Amino acid sequence: MRVAVPRETAPGERRVALVPETVSKLRDAGFEIRVERGAGAAAGFLDESYTAAGADLVDADALLDGVAGVVRVAKPSQKESEALAPGTVLIGFLQPLTDAEGISRLRERGVVAFAMESIPRITRAQAMDALSSQATVSGYKAVLLAADRVPKLFPMLMTAAGTIAPVRALVIGAGVAGLQAIATARRLGAVVSGFDVRPAVQEQVESLGAAFLDLGVRAEETAGGYATELTPAQQEQQQAALAERIPDFDVVITTAAVPGRRAPKLIPASAVKRMRPGSVIVDLAAETGGNCELTVPGEVVERGGVSIVGTTNLPSLMAYHASQLYSRNVAALLQHLAPNGELALDWEDEITAGACVTRPKEASA
């Protein structure tokens, strides 16, 4: 199976779908990899390293000639979609729940598209779980962004001039990103608390050395690992309880998100108003509207002396390792779809059927 790796064109996207390390392993597994010149440069992977790994380097106009598959990070533009031949296997973050037009375009082209967001959350598919790998990067980077902006030292320091109290940090949401944020903040020396409406994650939060913040709001966990939606009354209770507790913290990192929906509003403007000047909120849900009422997606704003970081696509800010992790996810999916480099789509398989968002008509019968 010949697979193409294009250079990403989405604004601000620095990642690459396959890194040289993975290209070498895929070549050994029977794949032929074609890489657009400069595809990995923004992530720190030079063309020479791809050549050394066994990839064929080509210019953009020759990239898709005779390829059976295309792997990328971000969804293709309209022009990129129209360049794909019918029957091409496409793998990437395709936003199937929010970009109906883009998915329809791929379907009309006859592209067999697999969305990395749609990989089933089952044990057998863990190596393909790109949402988790990239959330790990986001949780780590969120803490660094907070540490850079808060005018305080994270750890407690005992000096000749006296003792400096540590930063108090609150992480809202104990999914993959939240747990990584907790672990990173703890490593930097902060006193950390974690909050989640799922009681089952309390043990995970505490195992990382953080206190579990119990606000009396409970929700069950779905099969996909997400919290069930709260009732309007529960949402009001949660907002009120958080508004009471948030002023106690110097740093707040929010990670609550529901796939395909707007992010739940957890921090009202009134709560931000009560925070101490110099405090920082890093909103990892900014891309879908934000967990804070005052978040501006893609921007860092200041309200009453409180910095609210709405920076989106945090994994792209750590492009080298984010690409490395994503590349391994993509390679695992490729090898699942094409054992020994031979495409063999099994529509009875839970992973193949679950991840495909533009299944061919003959396979749907």
Active site residues: 121, 126, 129, 132, 226
Strands (E), 235-283: 251-254, 280-283
CA 54 to chain centre: 29
Residue with tokens 């293709």: 76
Q: Do the beta carbons of residue 325 and residue 137 sit within 8 Å?
A: yes
What residues are paired with 252 via a beta bridge? 170, 281
Q: Give the number of other CB atoms < 10 A from CB of residue 99.
A: 14
Measure the CA–CA gap between 98 and 91, rounded to whole angstroms. 17
For residue 349, how far is the Cα from the chain centroid?
Answer: 25
User: Is the distance from CB of 54 to CB of 23 less than 8 angstroms?
Assistant: yes
Q: Rounded to an integer, what distance in angstroms lies between the CA atom of residue 62 and that of residue 147?
A: 45
The C-alpha angle 235, 133, 125, rounded to 5 degrees, equals 95
Please report the beta strands in 97-179, taking only residues with DSSP state E, as ranges in sequence order.
Answer: 112-115, 157-159, 162-164, 168-172
Residue where the block lists tokens 């104990």:
174
- CB under 8 Å to 308, separation ≥6 — which residues? 272, 280, 281, 283, 292, 294, 295, 296, 300, 301, 302
Sheet strand arrangement including 2-5: 56-58, 32-36, 2-5, 69-74, 89-93, 112-115
Q: Nearest CA to 24 among 53, 51, 60, 47?
A: 53
Residue 124 near residue 104, CB atoms below 8 Å: no
